[in-house]
Structure 1
């Protein structure tokens, strides 16, 4: 299952790099709750890996919101800005 986390992180990192290279002042991904964590409290490792990939590009977390998708599953909506 480790490859899934790495693939998600790599994909988000690529998106973050494209936004950075395009000169966007902000980067606004949506992170979906992995099915293995649905309804559980505690650490969401998928999100940790994905966030780390974005931070590695140079983005800095500005704000963070969590809401539910159309099926009631948690979704994170971080806002990253340039330092």
Structure 2
């Protein structure tokens, strides 16, 4: 059984979703600028490491509240 989690959604062209396939987690990032990127993780600690590196305060283009909400959504996967 696949469990789907919505991490972030701005509109139908900009979103991040996570799908749990047993012990694997597949993250799909859909962007109107870059298209679709998929990332596969074999553990939740690997997922969180990636998320914390990708969504650092220096790299995130949004409010700190939005960034923390995205990281919290990843923790709940």
For Structure 1 versus Structure 2, the TM-score category normalised by the shorter chain is under 0.3
- Say which one has the larger Rg: 1
- Which of the pair is proportionally richer in strand? 2
Between 1 and 2, higher relative CO (CA 8 Å, sep ≥ 6) is seen in: 1
> Normalising by structure 2, what TM-score?
0.26
- Which of the pair is proportionally richer in helix? 1
> Normalising by structure 1, what TM-score?
0.25
